[in-house]
Chain A
Amino acid sequence: MSRVLSAWLCALAVLVSPALGQTIDFQPAEQDKAAYFSLSDLSPEQIARLAKLPAGDPAWAREFAVYVLDTTLVEQEDRSKTPAMAGDYALHKNQLRFTPKFPLRPGLTYQAVFQEKGKPARTIEVALSKPPAAEKARVTQIYPTADVLPENQLRFYLHFSAPMSRGEAYDHLRIIDEANQAAELPILELGEELWDKSGTRLTILIDPGRIKRGVKPREDIGTVFKAGHKYTLAIAKEWHDAAGEPLAEGFRKQFRIVPPVGDAIEPAEWKIAAPKIGTNDPLVVTFPRPLDHALLERTLSVANAGGKELAGKVKVPTGEERWEFRPAQPWPSGKLELVVDPTLEDLAGNRIGRPFEVLGGDKPVGGLLKPHRMPLTLKQ
């Protein structure tokens, strides 16, 4: 769902104040050229005066400037207090050109003002129409997919169908208990918000201060989830996408809580169903308990004896209790290894060789610093 602003830029000059002499024009953006406003038919003395001004001098904006017409702007009537739009000025023969520093926003109206000393200001307004409304964004999936989660569930991934706006995530998320009460600050609120680069996946962390044992918030208010109870993660539809539109609808994930999981991940407990050499059948690894969806997608791989990773397709079926790998080329004979990145975590943040919480502090880091390697025996 891409919105290429320049493609949809459709400018309508709404009002040109009548007068003789200089005309104000707007040139919409073209392929490689940015949009600009121009003041034409300058007199020789105007040109001479402007030519003397250094670049960036505030005097340019006092003569000719562009403003966003926005009814919510403070002190709009007093233009001297409204910042003009940033941009570059250039003289082209007897024309003064102002090229805004940033692309004009569809849906906004801009006003170019020519203020000659002692004369009334002359303006034009350019209203950029909004592109036709695209399909509204929606939540497509929440991980973990399981509806039974441990009391120390650490993290959820929220997937959206289109890029979302930053800055309002925590306003639209609630964790509601069986009595329909919303928990107070259950989610770690970070100004940065934990989005991926495409803006379609948000990571939320349950407040670690209420998960970690011996930490004040947990001791004072207790955990967010309590074993034996049901909760709902509710996403409000008022959440805006990157185009400023709310979601098509909200989303709810209901789940039941069981006791916390505090053990390290044990690869020895994994069941590996090995495929046959020469086929493209999937290698299937089954875990005794669900693991983190995002980390499963990227922390496991198969390598040959030389350490080279085999190309292929990874699949993590619903429930996140299995990892399947289908090779691009038929399975070769020879030594193969399942390679596991040390950052693999389960739903509570436990890793291989290191639980989320380790008792007894002054020990070495523990856990893995290098990938975990397991030999694979394929069927003949």
Chain B
Amino acid sequence: MKWTFVLAMAIALAGFASASQAATPGLDQSGKPDLKSAGPIAFGPDGVLFVADPAGAAVFAIEVPKAKPVEGKAGEFKVAGVDAKVASLLGTTAGDILINDLAVQPGSSVAYLSVSRGKGPAGTPALVTVDSQGAVALVGLDKVNYAKVALSNAPEADAKDKRGNSLRNESITDLAYIDGRVLVAGLSNEEFASKLRAFRFPFGKEEDDTSIEIYHGAHGAFETRAPVRTFVPLIVAGEPQILAAYTCTPLVRFPLSDLKPGAKVRGTTIAELGNRNRPLDIVSYEKDGKTYLLIANSARGVMKVTTETIADQKGITEKVADKAGLAYETLEALKGVEHLDKLSPTQALLLVRTGDAVGLESIQLP
């Protein structure tokens, strides 16, 4: 009886202690993050939102308000003119903003957009939420718990930091959280280099971070540097893998375990998406016990790719006719999709541009 009482007290004290705990694990700063731009975004553990800041050459982990949890199906989205709404919220017109990325808060019906208010170099970053009713709200960043990690320049460029640094810049094409690490894909605006960085989260010392060059091996065995334009983490046969789309189009995979300092990473080509394809965004999902990829593709609509044979894929090393590797089908009706994310186990959320209008709409995962 006595022990039960002690245990109850201990639990109560622990509950009290955690209620008064300020930060989510890994968020060691409090205040206003010095965000210079808001580029690709992705959710991590415990509702932390990772925000890539290419202008500031940094990645932030920001605590965002917990949303009402949604069980199963989320609300249907059909928000027309989402750019006009976001612009109105930011006190300007739709022609004055850029919507950079979309991420749905897991388990909720809340979509996050990373936005630039102003299209020039002096544009102000903003994070905005949109719900299925079309209500938009600004994510307050004046006093939040957050963490920040700097993206160091290539070791070679560091030496030349004083000269020419203002011109050389790295764009961040994508980021994702997997297996305790934040992966960031970048592309320089000068040398042709593909940089994939892996940071431990909670962010630690620089030695924990890895910066890797990614290569592509084409048919005829020519090997080149291969910038990654979008990627998605995926567990294949129990092992974490990265599925990436290169700027030269193949869809490749490589194991997360390959990302070690000094390693030479060469993706195994698992699908040739064909020419005139510009893969913009990829998500993975489960349906009827199988895993699929949904790829937003500016030229060809949205593609649904099977992943059943990924583990077996030896890689495409020979010339092939149009469709090769993993089987895929194209949902041609879904044109103009610029960003997508999973909304619920059965739905995806798409940011679609048709002409001048930008809308946020949900679809059943195909």
Contact = CB atoms under 8 A, between A and B. Distances in A.
Interface of A: 56, 66-68, 70, 72-74, 81-86, 100-102, 104-105, 108, 110, 154-155, 163-167, 184-185, 188-199, 201, 203, 205, 207-209, 212-217, 219-221, 240-244, 292, 294-295, 297-299, 301, 314, 341-343, 345, 349, 356-361, 364-365, 371
B217 A361 contact: yes
Specify which of B89, B167, B213, B216 lies most central, judged by the most chain A CB atoms within 10 Å of its CB. B167
Given A212-B218, A242-B119, A343-B156, A110 B91 contact: yes
Nearest to A219: B319
Contacts of B272: 216
A199 to B, nearest CB: 3
Contact of B164 (A219, A297, A358): A297
Given A100-B91, A357-B222, A73 B119 contact: no
A199 B120 contact: yes
Contacts of B223: 357-361
Nearest to A220: B275
Given A164-B120, A242-B122, A365-B264, A216 B84 contact: no
B267 to A, nearest CB: 11
B278 A217 contact: no
Contacts of B157: 341, 343
B120 A163 contact: yes
B175 interface: no
Interface in B227-281: 227, 229, 247-250, 264, 266, 272-276, 278, 280
Contacts of A221: 275-276
Interface residues of B, number: 89
B152 interface: no
Contact of A74 (B54, B80, B192, B213): B80
Contact of A212 (B123, B222, B266): B222
A297 B168 CA distance: 11
A242 B190 contact: no
Contacts of B160: 298-299, 301, 341
B166 A86 contact: no
B81 A74 contact: yes
Contact of B166 (A155, A197, A213, A341): A197
Nearest to A360: B221
Main secondary structure of the interface of A (DSSP, over half): loop
Contacts of B154: 343
29 contacts: A67-B88, A70-B88, A72-B84, A83-B136, A85-B88, A85-B89, A86-B138, A102-B91, A102-B92, A165-B120, A191-B100, A197-B166, A199-B120, A203-B189, A207-B248, A208-B224, A209-B248, A214-B218, A217-B276, A219-B319, A242-B119, A242-B120, A295-B190, A298-B164, A341-B156, A341-B157, A359-B221, A361-B215, A371-B156
Interface of B: 39, 54-55, 80-81, 84-96, 98, 100, 116-124, 126, 134-138, 140, 154, 156-157, 159-160, 163-164, 166-169, 171-173, 187, 189-193, 213, 215-224, 226-227, 229, 247-250, 264, 266, 272-276, 278, 280, 298-299, 319-320, 322, 338
A294 B248 contact: no
Contact of A197 (B55, B159, B219): B55
Contacts of B159: 341, 371
Contacts of B172: 192
Contacts of A100: 91
B247 A208 contact: yes
Given A83-B136, A203-B189, A216-B275, A73 B88 contact: yes
A108 B93 contact: yes
A194 B275 contact: no
B160 to A, nearest CB: 5
Contacts of A101: 90-91, 138
A214 B168 contact: no
A154 B227 CA distance: 14
B213 A356 contact: no
Nearest to A199: B121
Contact of A190 (B80, B86, B187, B213): B187
Given A163-B120, A201-B189, A359-B222, 8 more contacts: A73-B88, A102-B91, A166-B123, A191-B280, A196-B189, A221-B276, A294-B164, A349-B192
A213 B120 contact: no
A263 B319 CA distance: 25
Given A163-B122, A165-B119, A361-B266, A343 B89 contact: no
A68 B171 contact: no
Specify which of B123, B138, B213, B223 lies most central, judged by the most chain A CB atoms within 10 Å of its CB. B223
B58 to A, nearest CB: 14
A192 B54 contact: yes
A73 B189 contact: no
Specify which of A197, A242, A294 lies most central, judged by the most chain B CB atoms within 10 Å of its CB. A197
Given A342-B156, A343-B191, A70 B93 contact: yes
Nearest to B320: A216
Given A166-B119, A197-B55, A208-B224, A345 B218 contact: no
Nearest to B98: A167
Contact of A86 (B90, B96, B227, B322): B90
Nearest to A299: B160
Contact of A196 (B90, B140, B169, B173): B169
Nearest to B318: A214
Contacts of B92: 68, 102, 105, 108
A294 B94 CA distance: 34
A365 B261 CA distance: 13
Contacts of A184: 276
Nearest to B90: A102
A194 B93 contact: no
B266 A166 contact: no
A356 B192 contact: yes
Contacts of A243: 120
Nearest to A365: B264
A216 to B, nearest CB: 5
Nearest to A75: B81
B219 A214 contact: yes
Nearest to B95: A244
A326 to B, nearest CB: 14
B139 to A, nearest CB: 10
Nearest to A351: B191
A167 to B, nearest CB: 5
B213 A197 contact: no
Contacts of B224: 208, 212, 356-358
A242 B88 CA distance: 19
